[in-house]
Structure 1
Amino acid sequence: MQADVPFNKYFYYIGSVCFAFYAAFHTVRGNPLIAIMSSINLLAICYILFKYKKNQLEISHNNIIISLLSLSVLIACYELGRSGIIYIFPLVAGYIYYYSSRTAVLSSITLCVLALFMSLNHLHYETIIRTTVPIAITVVISFLYTKKVEHHQTQLRHIARSDHLTGLYNRRKLISWLKNKEHTVSNTTGHLLFLCLGVDNFKHINDQYGHEFGDNLLRKIAVTVEQQLAAMNITNRDTVISRVAGDEFVVGVYGSLPYSLVKSISTELLKSVNKIECVNGISLSVDACVGLTARSRPFCYEQVIKEAHIAMYEAKKVSKNQMRFYSSKLAKKVKEKLNIVELLKSALVNDEFYLVFMPVYGPTGHRITGAEALIRTHNDALSTYTPDVYIPVAEEHGLIHQLDEMVIRKAFKTLKHSSLNQLDTFSLAINISSQQLKNKHFPKMANTMALEEEIDPNQIEFELTETALVDFDQTSIDIIKQTKTYGFRVALDDFGTGYTAFSQLQNFPVDTLKIDRSFTSNIDGKNIDQGKMVDVILSLAHLYNLNVVAEGVENSEQLDYLKHRHCDSYQGYYLSKPISWHEMLALINHEST
């Protein structure tokens, strides 16, 4: 019997009524054998219904009923002849429903031969031969129908467990495979290795070449992974290869796994993916990262999938073509991040953020010409982390747009209620995430806020870190240009620490470069090379008509060095630490007296 055939209680209810009627009817008609057989069937049905109510039903119970029904049909043929033969047809349908096609056909043929033989007691052999034809037709048609149904079921099972794009197993099949291993893994019977491979910058590939190209690349990666595992004889083991989502592929291996094999699998997979150089006649470089986790004792499948993904994302943060194992240290780091996420959400809901301002001094180093707004928090738990820690977490977990908008709004409101508002000699710098370079709504949002708070956009400068240029594209350029169209200015923060060539600045429309503090802080009269680097940045920046702000000015020697080389502006603890708006206004007023 097929294990997936559902129990139909109504069939048994109707059968019990029918057999009760047959038992009484044939008792009255003087057919005790049929009456006894009907009573046995009735008792068997009642027993099965009782087991069903107790939730103790087994496949064997249905097999018992099929056997009793078969015996009843044979007895009916022996006792009634032609009237008994008609019961063959519904029983053949029952075989088709309950058994596989092969078993159903063999059972049907056996039943028909025995039933016709039993009917010889009442029928002439010529009548039996004539009766054989419709019975044979019924069996053949039922067999063909069953084969067609099984074919469709096979196709549906394949579709249900396969990824439509690559033909690999999908997430459902992967989970099924893992569930089968949950309680079989042990130090003696076998280990589980589970790795997740994610393609680097796949969204950028999709955007640049189109989704059809991206689909073809995924197919090629799937074939490459399968071929590489086959070349390493990994597929000879108990293995599953799956595409679980987008550009993420998963490989699970169960068995005796030496450490050298564990390490080589991920290394060779990365190498094989890196060898993909051409798709649809277009040359490209394909990079990926791998996250791994392993088990030698019973586990929860959800946790294994989660660990492999965490390790892969951690690898992606380091660089391209990296591999990372999941560890307790990594788990602690993830747990801490999730805690920070909850603290950020709470601080946003309860308005627990505020701003301090780092004054920016003009060419002489004596007069404040602007300020940089810096985020701080009243939340005691969140305040144990610096913005350098929780801002990247906000970016990673989708909170950065809300955080940026909050900072911009607070900065605008602060400037609005100040004597510095509409003063063209003062500018306010606001840090924004590089993710805003993908947010087409950002320029309009910033301008709308400026209008609402009656702020002149010419007083506002949005700061982006230099690393934002690494993944910038035409969309990013368009967003910056639109932002500048409203009158806002754009600065490149931490300049010199990234990968930007000065030639790129021609295509990246910024107004200001901020020399990273790592260069400024090393100017001490002894380190000539660092001084030369600052000289190069200042010379080329002025060649491109860019304003330059030196960060991290910590002493008079550094300030004098920068002033001598005509740096435009300075900020640092030697001049002023971050202070409240009112303290900064007091400094500005003091300068005027």
Structure 2
Amino acid sequence: MRTSVPFNKYFYYIAFACFTFYAVFHSFRGNNFIASISIVNIVMISCILIQHTRDMLRPAHNNIMILLLSLTVVIACYELGTRGIIYIFPLVAGYIYYYKAKTAIISSTLLCVIALICSLKHLDYETMIRTIVPIVITVVISFLYAKKVEFHQTQLRHIAKSDYLTGLFNRRKLISWLKDKQNQIDKRNHLLVLCLGVDNFKYINDHYGHSFGDVLLQKIADNLTQQLNNIQHTYPDSVLSRVAGDEFIVCVYGHFPFSFVKAIGATLLEGVNGINQINNVSISVDACIGVTSRSMTFEYEHVIKEAHIAMYEAKKISKNKTYFYSSALAHKVKEKLKIVELLQKALLNDDFYLVFMPVYGPSGRKITGAEALIRTHNDVLSHYTPDVYIPIAEEYGLIQQIDELVIKKAFSTLKHSSLNQNSGFVLAINISSQQLQNKQFANMVYNMALEEGVQPNQIEFELTETALVDFDQTSIDIIKQTKEYGFSVALDDFGTGYTAFSQLRNFPVDTLKIDRSFTSNIDDSGVDQGKMVDVILTLAHLYNLNVVAEGVENHEQLDYLKHRHCDSYQGYYLSKPVQWDEMLALIHNETT
């Protein structure tokens, strides 16, 4: 019987009613034999319904019921002739519904032959011919229909277990395969799980189009399949699946040496790196791989998750990197999740506040602005610095909430201050690089400024130079729109990124902030220590950009920067981050 055929209680309710009617009808007609058979069917149907309500129904119960119905039809043909033959047709349909096509055609043919033989005493030759023809037609049409249904069922099963784009295993089929291995694994045979993720696939989709990306994924699938075929010569129990847009998982089961574990990542990467042209467009394709393994009982969710985690870690290190999941990585992830939970709690409870790092003008004596820095009242989260938890907030999708909170608090602080409407004072606010893909950002901050009564020309948004790695036209448009509203834009940590010098003229920014690592190299040991600062200052002035030197820690550094005509400074030598009221007091003291 088809295990996929659901139990239909209404079919049995109707059958129960019909057989009850037959039992009563034939009792009155004096045909006690038919009435008795009907009663037997009533009892059987009742038992099946009871088993169903107790969740004890088995395929054997339905098989017995169909056998009993077949016997009933045969008896009806023997007793009633043509009046019994008409019940062959619904029973043939029942065979087609419950059994596979081959079993159904054999059972139907056997039923028809036996039923016709049993009804011979009631039929003449002509009636027999007229009866056989429609029965044969019914059986043949039912068989053809059953074959068609089976064909479509096979296709549906294939679709349910295959990725629509590549034809590889999908996630459901992969999980089914892993479940089979859960009970087979032992110390001799190991499970190796590798998760491959394509680098910058979103950029490829955005730049070349989704149809181009689909062709690329198909090509990657073909190349990985070829690599897997080579692996299967030695380890036949291996599978390849596509589990997400640009993520593939390879599983290998068997007894293999550590050298194979080390080499398989490079083998799979060759299949991706070997792609250099798609639709006559030259392209370079990179990927990263995360690896985990098992030699004992495992949960399929855990191995998939571990391979994903290792893959994401590989992406952070470099392109075409293979990274192995370890207890150290597990601890690192656990620590991240702890911080994520703390961040969510801090956002919910409004546990963040701001301090301000004063920015001094050319003389190094007068405060001309400040940088808003986030801090937290949460006792546990305060053990971590913003340098630790802000990247985690970006990774886990919390950064936009934090950005909006900081901007709102900064605007509100400036609004209730004597510095509001003072065009000589600029408040700098750090924002995430993710805002460069947020097309609503410029409108959002402008509306917030209007609500708080803050002048946009007093606000400068800071982006780290590393944000420019994925800089595209959307990013440029968002920055331009932000500047059109009157805000200014600064490039923080300048000089640490590898793209800035060659692309600076393409970035619509107003200010460069020299990274503290360059400022710290300025000392009294010789002028060579400040050459990088000289280059940045020269470059910035060439593009008419304002320059702020970060990390000024001593008089020598400040004096050097003054002589090089740096525009502004900030650092502990001048002032540490302070509360807003303390900074106002510092500004007040400058004028007294």
TM-score, normalised via structure 2 length:
0.93
User: Residue 256 in 1 paired to residue 229 in 2?
Assistant: no
Match of 2:369 in 1: 370
User: Residue 317 in 1 paired to residue 321 in 2?
Assistant: no
CA displacement at 1:101 relative to structure 2: 0.6
Query: Which range is displaced more, 506-515 or 118-127?
Result: 118-127
Matches of 1:198 and 1:185, distance apart in 2: 27
Contact 1:206 1:214 in 2 (8 A): yes
- 1:470 is paired with a residue of what secondary structure? helix
Match of 1:477 in 2: 476
Contact 2:190 2:255 in 1 (8 A): yes
Match of 1:449 in 2: 448
- Does the C-alpha gap of structure 1 residues 8 and 441 become closer, same or farther in structure 2, counting only changes over 3 Å? closer
Match of 2:149 in 1: 149
Contact 2:108 2:139 in 1 (8 A): yes
CA displacement at 1:107 relative to structure 2: 1.2
User: Residue 425 in 1 paired to residue 421 in 2?
Assistant: no
Matches of 1:12 and 1:494, distance apart in 2: 76
Supply the AA of the counterpart residue of 1:541. Answer: A
Match of 1:334 in 2: 333
Supply the AA of the counterpart residue of 1:158. Answer: H
Match of 2:280 in 1: 281
- Does the C-alpha gap of structure 1 residues 444 and 7 become closer, same or farther in structure 2, counting only changes over 3 Å? closer
Matches of 2:487 and 2:220, distance apart in 1: 44
CA displacement at 1:182 relative to structure 2: 3.7
Supply the AA of the counterpart residue of 1:592. Answer: T
Q: Deviations over 1:138-160 (max 9, x none)?
A: 11111111111112222222233
CA displacement at 1:90 relative to structure 2: 2.2
**Which runs of no fewer than 5 residues in structure 1 stay unpaired?**
none
Match of 1:494 in 2: 493
- Does the C-alpha gap of structure 1 residues 456 and 53 become closer, same or farther in structure 2, counting only changes over 3 Å? closer
- Does the C-alpha gap of structure 1 residues 592 and 110 become closer, same or farther in structure 2, counting only changes over 3 Å? same
Match of 1:565 in 2: 564
- Does the C-alpha gap of structure 1 residues 430 and 235 become closer, same or farther in structure 2, counting only changes over 3 Å? farther
CA displacement at 1:296 relative to structure 2: 3.0
Contact 1:229 1:235 in 2 (8 A): no
Contact 2:523 2:529 in 1 (8 A): no
CA displacement at 1:552 relative to structure 2: 1.4
Supply the AA of the counterpart residue of 2:154. Answer: T
Matches of 1:74 and 1:527, distance apart in 2: 111
Match of 2:62 in 1: 62
- 2:576 is paired with a residue of what secondary structure? coil
Matches of 1:261 and 1:252, distance apart in 2: 13
CA displacement at 1:125 relative to structure 2: 4.8
Match of 2:403 in 1: 404
Q: Deviations over 1:43-68 (max 9, x none)?
A: 43333333223221111111112222
- Does the C-alpha gap of structure 1 residues 405 and 17 become closer, same or farther in structure 2, counting only changes over 3 Å? closer
CA displacement at 1:317 relative to structure 2: 2.0
Contact 2:232 2:238 in 1 (8 A): no
Contact 1:434 1:464 in 2 (8 A): yes
Matches of 1:29 and 1:450, distance apart in 2: 93
- 2:50 is paired with a residue of what secondary structure? helix
Match of 1:583 in 2: 582
CA displacement at 1:342 relative to structure 2: 2.6
- 1:558 is paired with a residue of what secondary structure? helix
CA displacement at 1:387 relative to structure 2: 0.6
- Does the C-alpha gap of structure 1 residues 421 and 8 become closer, same or farther in structure 2, counting only changes over 3 Å? closer
User: Residue 550 in 1 paired to residue 561 in 2?
Assistant: no
Matches of 1:475 and 1:527, distance apart in 2: 44
Q: How many residues align?
A: 592
Supply the AA of the counterpart residue of 2:494. Answer: F
- Does the C-alpha gap of structure 1 residues 29 and 481 become closer, same or farther in structure 2, counting only changes over 3 Å? closer
Matches of 2:162 and 2:485, distance apart in 1: 51
Match of 1:110 in 2: 110
- Within 5 Å, which residues of 2 pair with 1:160-309? 160-188=160-188, 190-233=189-232, 237-309=236-308
Matches of 2:20 and 2:402, distance apart in 1: 76
Query: Which range is displaced more, 161-170 or 510-519?
Result: 161-170
Match of 1:465 in 2: 464
Supply the AA of the counterpart residue of 1:505. Answer: L
- Within 5 Å, which residues of 2 pair with 1:33-52? 34-52=34-52
Contact 2:198 2:246 in 1 (8 A): yes
Contact 1:356 1:580 in 2 (8 A): yes
CA displacement at 1:306 relative to structure 2: 2.5
Output the aligned Cα RMSD. 2.5
Query: Matched residues, percent identical?
Result: 72
Match of 1:135 in 2: 135
Q: Deviations over 1:80-115 (max 9, x none)?
A: 433333332222222111111111111111222222
Query: Which range is displaced more, 288-297 or 373-382?
Result: 288-297
Match of 2:433 in 1: 434
CA displacement at 1:18 relative to structure 2: 4.1
Matches of 1:304 and 1:176, distance apart in 2: 14
- Does the C-alpha gap of structure 1 residues 15 and 528 become closer, same or farther in structure 2, counting only changes over 3 Å? same
- Does the C-alpha gap of structure 1 residues 232 and 556 become closer, same or farther in structure 2, counting only changes over 3 Å? same
User: Residue 358 in 1 paired to residue 362 in 2?
Assistant: no
Q: Deviations over 1:217-251 (max 9, x none)?
A: 12222222212211322797334433222222223
Query: Which range is displaced more, 124-133 or 333-342?
Result: 124-133
- Within 5 Å, which residues of 2 pair with 1:84-123? 84-123=84-123
CA displacement at 1:303 relative to structure 2: 2.9
Q: Deviations over 1:352-377 (max 9, x none)?
A: 22211112222332332222111111
Contact 2:463 2:492 in 1 (8 A): yes
- Does the C-alpha gap of structure 1 residues 390 and 30 become closer, same or farther in structure 2, counting only changes over 3 Å? same
- 2:195 is paired with a residue of what secondary structure? strand
Contact 2:237 2:254 in 1 (8 A): yes
Matches of 2:11 and 2:234, distance apart in 1: 46
Match of 2:4 in 1: 4
Query: Which range is displaced more, 123-132 or 278-287?
Result: 123-132
Matches of 2:55 and 2:408, distance apart in 1: 63
CA displacement at 1:458 relative to structure 2: 2.5
CA displacement at 1:385 relative to structure 2: 1.0
Matches of 2:17 and 2:450, distance apart in 1: 82
CA displacement at 1:527 relative to structure 2: 7.0
Matches of 2:42 and 2:509, distance apart in 1: 89
TM-score, normalised via structure 1 length:
0.92
CA displacement at 1:395 relative to structure 2: 1.4
Q: Deviations over 1:472-526 (max 9, x none)?
A: 0111112222222222222111111111342311111222221111122122344
- Does the C-alpha gap of structure 1 residues 407 and 53 become closer, same or farther in structure 2, counting only changes over 3 Å? closer
Supply the AA of the counterpart residue of 2:131. Answer: T
Match of 1:520 in 2: 519
- Does the C-alpha gap of structure 1 residues 427 and 26 become closer, same or farther in structure 2, counting only changes over 3 Å? closer
Q: Deviations over 1:389-417 (max 9, x none)?
A: 11112212222222222222222232233
Matches of 2:530 and 2:211, distance apart in 1: 51
- 1:167 is paired with a residue of what secondary structure? coil
Supply the AA of the counterpart residue of 1:86. Answer: I
- 1:294 is paired with a residue of what secondary structure? strand
- 1:376 is paired with a residue of what secondary structure? strand
Contact 1:34 1:76 in 2 (8 A): yes
Contact 1:408 1:430 in 2 (8 A): yes
- Does the C-alpha gap of structure 1 residues 81 and 589 become closer, same or farther in structure 2, counting only changes over 3 Å? closer
Matches of 1:234 and 1:508, distance apart in 2: 53
Contact 2:194 2:290 in 1 (8 A): yes
Contact 2:235 2:253 in 1 (8 A): no
